[in-house]
Structure 1
């Protein structure tokens, strides 16, 4: 199966896809994301703004499946809730126009739960109905897949054939201890003056706990509401990018370019997928 990975980021869809298809092209305008994608997958995504993608270029890929994670800010709890009026929805709107002219056989979209019931959700559903495609709206959280992380997401699975029913696994979350680095990065500990100012607003967890809150793209800059912080005998620290990657189910061999800043790594992870959950969503299209 020939697959287009749109808003490709770290390549989460490619990881979730495994050997069930081949990504013939990936698209993302973020240089850090594309460098990370190339390092881990060996292919450099096309740095073209999707809002200007020509129909001829799209059709030249002859892709049967579109996998996409459009920007969630227009629909997320802490966003501006402008939906399709948000400028960050321009690429999605253009893709919906291309879909109207040249629809694929299958499409899977991932976004925050606020996408459900939005004007973007309604537009997508209208496009799918117009082309006689079957649609299933799914909701899932990594905490049901054995991962101690709360990251509820919605997946819109569409195909020209009915979806294959896949139950949620409902695996109990494992302790955070199994996701931590063997050697701590001491620079991740919060300074006393920072801790004194923000302590009561932080979500604190310990290694034996079996939960953590959703890590957002601003985790490297923000404190309150950006994700959990680990409390140890030495103090309170951020989770490292490697630890967040494990909590998202990324493979152990996943790497960032050495020159990439800490904030850039957190941003890419915050905009990424939970790989086991995305793989489960794809299971509704494919037999494993």
Structure 2
């Protein structure tokens, strides 16, 4: 199939524009003809960064078949709500009202006057065992798409952040994928001649990186020998970059990101602490900066203080001494800009002035890794 003509792309559940940035980063000649999302904050940020892209602030179910046909698109990029499929959520799956719009898309797909040549979908790990996924695959088969499913974390591309996600790419004939497709879900990227960077060996994270289950004897900081060893192995992966490459150099204004005393005292033993030299960080979720446990790593700013030494005898100290000891580490949250960088958003991505830090964390936690999606777009639409 000849892609010298600019492909017309429909971006559904567009959020803050992660898919759009991935498309721009890819080698595909394309334009987003419409983005659709109902979230007001996300839409303000999208419009701020893509002022010339038509943004439809409406529900997908509110769009008719004719509305879709008028857009005359060749590609759908979509990232449906993930809460129905997370282990932290209620796993309502297709019974969850938030799945309604996705099922509506599946109902419309066979009825479109021109079915899109390419589809890319992103969701959480857990989607691959859902009834929604079964409905998706059934529709794709009926509409004559060939498809490939993946479970990929950004560590596959040397990015020091675990964010294991489900992806599906699908295309209609003529043409086929540039890699050997598999009926199984591929973990990491396939080896491909079309992109050298896909050959990076991937440090595949465990499925429970965001929702850890503890086993074994606790060594320090409520961590088991097994967990400490896993972190040591991650930090020795030389194919993965160090966090310092993604940190803001400007120290000004960083005090607002220091963990408050109450948080230090209450959650110190539960936090995942990383240093600038680390080659890992756990998945950042929408609760980051508000909730502490399981929402993302915190950064140890004072690297001349030994972490283990601070935590070893902590429980024996008074609250005042405990706080004094913990404060030595200068633990802080990653800034929204740093998280955006880890997630592959370019330097020119920004937030409108009135969007609060809490809102910034929230929308980033709901977004996706731009570099991972960019590679998948190239795999999907390679000549």
Alignment TM-score, normalising by the size of structure 1: 0.96
Q: Deviations along 1:61-107, whole A, 9 cap, x unmatched?
A: 00011100001111123111111111111111111111131232211
CA displacement at 1:153 relative to structure 2: 1.0
How does 1:94-105 map onto structure 2 within 5 Å? Answer: 94-102=104-112, 103-105=115-117
CA displacement at 1:156 relative to structure 2: 0.7
Q: Deviations along 1:191-232, whole A, 9 cap, x unmatched?
A: 122111001111111111000000011113211000111112
Q: Secondary structure at the match of 1:283?
A: helix
**Residue of structure 1 aligned with 2:199, choices 160, 164, 169:** 169
Alpha-carbon spacing, 1:261–1:44, altered in 2? closer, same or farther (3 Å): farther
The answer as to 2:366 corresponding to 1:271 is yes
Residue number in structure 1 paired with 2:354: 259
Residue number in structure 2 paired with 1:22: 31
2:118–2:381 CA contact under 8 A, matched in 1? no
Larger radius of gyration: 2
The separation in 2 between residues aligned to 1:158 and 1:182, in whole angstroms, is 41
Q: Secondary structure at the match of 2:263?
A: helix
Residue number in structure 1 paired with 2:316: none
How does 1:16-95 map onto structure 2 within 5 Å? Answer: 16-18=22-24, 19-42=28-51, 43=53, 45-95=55-105
The separation in 1 between residues aligned to 2:145 and 2:373, in whole angstroms, is 20
Residue number in structure 2 paired with 1:227: 296
CA displacement at 1:286 relative to structure 2: 1.9
**Residue of structure 2 aligned with 1:248, choices 328, 338, 343:** 343
| Structure 1: gaps (5+ residues) | none
For the aligned residue pairs, the C-alpha RMSD in angstroms reads 1.4
Q: Secondary structure at the match of 2:126?
A: helix
The separation in 1 between residues aligned to 2:103 and 2:289, in whole angstroms, is 30
Q: Deviations along 1:243-279, whole A, 9 cap, x unmatched?
A: 0000001101110001001111011111111011001
How does 1:138-149 map onto structure 2 within 5 Å? Answer: 138-149=150-161
Q: Secondary structure at the match of 1:195?
A: helix
How does 1:80-229 map onto structure 2 within 5 Å? Answer: 80-102=90-112, 103-161=115-173, 162-165=176-179, 166-167=190-191, 168-170=198-200, 172-184=239-251, 185-229=254-298
Q: Secondary structure at the match of 1:256?
A: coil
The separation in 2 between residues aligned to 1:266 and 1:231, in whole angstroms, is 19
Q: Which runs of 4+ in 1 moved over 4 A?
A: none
1:34–1:44 CA contact under 8 A, matched in 2? no
Q: Secondary structure at the match of 1:284?
A: helix
The separation in 1 between residues aligned to 2:36 and 2:93, in whole angstroms, is 22
Q: Secondary structure at the match of 1:150?
A: coil
CA displacement at 1:44 relative to structure 2: 5.0
Q: Secondary structure at the match of 1:193?
A: helix
The separation in 1 between residues aligned to 2:352 and 2:363, in whole angstroms, is 12
The separation in 1 between residues aligned to 2:167 and 2:263, in whole angstroms, is 38
Q: Secondary structure at the match of 1:63?
A: coil
| Structure 2: gaps (5+ residues) | 1-6, 180-189, 192-197, 202-238, 303-328
**Residue of structure 2 aligned with 1:2, choices 8, 28, 37:** 8
CA displacement at 1:46 relative to structure 2: 0.7
The separation in 2 between residues aligned to 1:62 and 1:200, in whole angstroms, is 54
Q: Secondary structure at the match of 2:200?
A: coil
